[in-house]
């Protein structure tokens, strides 16, 4: 390795993402929809400053084809290229889509989630490649999209949104904020930061848990698969609620001592079972994955602006028979997660879940219909809370979306929830055509109805 680079092998969790991304899971996309043309030289400098202060974003993901190992190599200087897609080429890309009902911005987000630079055309993995790509699309005479596409092993949702806020802050001020601290060391993996004893699990306990996860997965129900044969891509629909309904929902969660993730999981479970028109009282077991940001629990404690992958998943299964009360089920789903976290399962089960994830990637036939579905739904423990209304006039920010692809290994639906200016806005990502857009639109519509009924309950309580 050149003296101008520093390198380290990827950690266990990062390795599982390095295995997942070539198959289509873990391509993180941050997309801004603007009505003011972006200043490309300024944006280039802003991204350069980000790479100076966040070494992971200027790293190269390296693959050794002999040892089949990955590493993150960090050069001493930043190097980012902004690709510009003019109006004619963007129009051609949009017109090539069969999804005529979607907005150009949504089509661009979906295009980026499926633009996989981390696998070659022959299916091999590149020996060395950037972890971040940036593209500016000219959607029309008065609309633009600025998109960051990031390898999830190098940057999770928290880190990506922190970087987005830095970019928006610079775009708002119209100048560099200054004070960028130059860093060269690539961030440590999550396994290197777990407090002593938190990840410990006796050998036999680990074996029992692995067996439990494996056997339990055989009993899990899934959404009906529409087409399990055709190669897949990631698509998304949105679940939006106005500020009044959002406020009622959040108040209901607060009064019951639960978080929004439990309520979203409950609505998803109820909607999924009702989509099958099963007889009342017929049980089905569904799995949910709750993703928690571990930064504040690590040693050393990391800030939200520390770029890397520091999320962990807690998997729970729930029996659903129909007729469940939303708030009672939300309490059950959230407390199952909270109790597991209290018992450190977000640390002790990391290695087990990474192992099972890699086994599913290598052996898709071990999953129902080779669908690679690991759960019904995944939700983040905490939503992103943003206040962006002032940016509409200041920089022409019309909309933005942050999400990631899941059409390799993953859930049937991944919720990327945001409370934006007091309104709930979820990007709901799903694998297509394993699930159809109509199927997902119907599911999300039912989830919204269930949540609105919950609002009425809260108002009447």
Domain ranges of the chain: 5-188, 191-389+406-460
Under the banding of pLDDT at 50, 70 and 90, the label for residue 392 is confident
Under the banding of pLDDT at 50, 70 and 90, the label for residue 4 is low
Q: Could you tell me what percent of the chain has a pLDDT over 70?
A: 91
Under the banding of pLDDT at 50, 70 and 90, the label for residue 461 is low
Is pLDDT at 427 greater than 80 in this prediction? yes
Quote the pLDDT of residue 454. 85
Quote the pLDDT of residue 268. 98
Quote the pLDDT of residue 277. 85
Is pLDDT at 206 greater than 70 in this prediction? no
How many of the other CB atoms lie within 10 Å of CB of 305? 15
Under the banding of pLDDT at 50, 70 and 90, the label for residue 2 is very low
Identify the weakest region by mean pLDDT among 173-177, 238-242, 359-363: 173-177
Q: Tokens in use for 280? A: 């009342």
CA proximity to 70, closest of 2, 121, 113, 118: 118
Sign for the CA dihedral angle at 296, 298, 300, 306 comes to negative
Under the banding of pLDDT at 50, 70 and 90, the label for residue 1 is very low
257-282 mean pLDDT: 94
Q: Structure pTM? A: 0.94
191-210 mean pLDDT: 71
202-209 contacts: CB < 8 A, separation 24 or more?
206/351, 206/352, 209/349, 209/352
Q: Please say whether the beta carbons of 124 and 13 come within 8 A.
A: no
Q: Tokens in use for 382? A: 């905490």
Give 448 or 198, the one with higher predicted confidence: 448
Sign for the CA dihedral angle at 373, 447, 414, 349 comes to negative
- The segment with the largest mean pLDDT, out of 156-170, 206-220, 238-252, 446-460, is 238-252
- Phi and psi angles of residue 144, each rounded to the nearest 5 degrees, phi first: -140, 155
Give 1 or 304, the one with higher predicted confidence: 304
164-191 mean pLDDT: 73
Give the span between the Cα atoms of 344 and 314, in whole angstroms: 10
Give the span between the Cα atoms of 361 and 228, in whole angstroms: 15
Extract the runs of DSSP E, i.e. beta strands, from 226-358.
233-240, 284-293, 311-320
The CB-side HSE value for 48 (13 A sphere, CA atoms) comes to 12
Under the banding of pLDDT at 50, 70 and 90, the label for residue 390 is confident
Rounded CA Rg of the chain: 22
CA-CA distances (angstroms) from residue 100 to 104, 139, 438?
Answer: 9, 15, 14
273-286 mean pLDDT: 90
Is pLDDT at 202 greater than 60 in this prediction? no
Is pLDDT at 177 greater than 80 in this prediction? no
Identical topology for domains 5-188 and 191-389+406-460 = yes
Architecture of domain 5-188: 2-Layer Sandwich (3.30)
Is pLDDT at 99 greater than 90 in this prediction? no
Is pLDDT at 224 greater than 60 in this prediction? yes
How many of the other CB atoms lie within 10 Å of CB of 95? 10
Q: What is the DSSP-derived secondary structure letter of residue 184?
A: -
- Phi and psi angles of residue 413, each rounded to the nearest 5 degrees, phi first: -145, 130
Give the span between the Cα atoms of 377 and 430, in whole angstroms: 10
Query: Could you say which of 3.40.50.620, 3.30.559.30, 3.40.50.300, 3.40.50.1370 is the CATH number of the domain covering 191-389+406-460?
Result: 3.30.559.30
Q: Tokens in use for 406? A: 């899941």
Quote the pLDDT of residue 175. 58
- Phi and psi angles of residue 241, each rounded to the nearest 5 degrees, phi first: -135, 150
Quote the pLDDT of residue 337. 97
Q: Could you tell me what percent of the chain has a pLDDT over 90?
A: 71
3-state secondary structure of 120: coil
Give the span between the Cα atoms of 127 and 120, in whole angstroms: 10
């Amino acid at each position: 390795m050149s003296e101008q680079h520093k390198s380290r092998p990827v950690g266990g969790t990062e390795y599982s993402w390095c295995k997942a991304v070539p198959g289509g899971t873990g391509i993180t996309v941050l997309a801004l929809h603007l009505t003011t043309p972006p200043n490309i030289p300024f944006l280039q400098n802003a991204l350069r400053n980000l790479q100076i202060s966040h070494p992971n974003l200027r790293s190269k993901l390296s693959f050794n084809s002999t040892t089949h190992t990955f590493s993150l190599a960090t050069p001493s200087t930043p190097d980012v290229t902004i690709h510009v897609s003019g109006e004619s080429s963007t129009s051609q890309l949009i017109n090539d889509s069969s999804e005529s009902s979607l907005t150009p911005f949504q089509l661009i987000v979906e295009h980026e989630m499926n633009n996989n630079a981390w696998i070659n055309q022959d299916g091999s993995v590149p020996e060395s490649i950037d972890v971040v790509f940036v593209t500016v699309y000219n959607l029309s005479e008065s609309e633009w999209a600025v998109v960051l596409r990031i390898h999830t092993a190098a940057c999770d949702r928290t880190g990506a949104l922190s970087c987005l806020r830095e970019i928006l802050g610079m775009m708002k001020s119209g100048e560099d904020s200054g004070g960028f601290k130059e860093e060269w060391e690539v961030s440590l993996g999550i396994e290197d930061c777990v407090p002593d004893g938190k990840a410990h699990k006796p050998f036999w306990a680990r074996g029992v848990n692995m067996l439990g996860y494996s056997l339990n997965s055989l009993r899990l129900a899934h959404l009906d698969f529409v087409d399990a044969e055709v190669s897949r891509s990631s698509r998304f629909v949105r679940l939006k609620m106005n500020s009044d309904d959002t406020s009622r929902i959040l108040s209901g969660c607060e009064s019951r001592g639960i978080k929004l993730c439990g309520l979203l999981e409950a609505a998803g479970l109820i909607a999924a079972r009702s989509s099958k028109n099963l007889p009342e009282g017929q049980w089905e077991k569904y799995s949910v994955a709750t993703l928690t940001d571990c930064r504040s629990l690590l040693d050393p404690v990391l800030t939200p602006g520390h770029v890397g992958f520091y999320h962990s998943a807690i998997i729970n299964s729930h029996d659903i028979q129909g007729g469940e009360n939303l708030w009672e089920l939300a309490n059950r789903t959230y407390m199952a997660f909270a109790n597991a976290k209290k018992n450190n399962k977000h640390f002790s089960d990391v290695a087990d879940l990474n192992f099972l994830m890699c086994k599913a990637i290598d052996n898709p036939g071990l999953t129902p219909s080779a669908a690679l579905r690991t759960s019904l739904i995944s939700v983040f423990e905490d939503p992103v809370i943003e206040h962006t209304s002032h940016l509409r006039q200041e920089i022409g920010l019309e909309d933005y979306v942050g999400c990631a692809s899941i059409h390799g290994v993953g859930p049937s639906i991944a919720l990327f929830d945001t409370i934006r200016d007091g309104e709930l806005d979820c990007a709901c990502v799903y694998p297509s055509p394993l699930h159809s857009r109509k199927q997902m639109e119907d599911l999300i519509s039912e989830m919204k109805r269930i949540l609105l009924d919950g609002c009425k309950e809260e108002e009447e309580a």
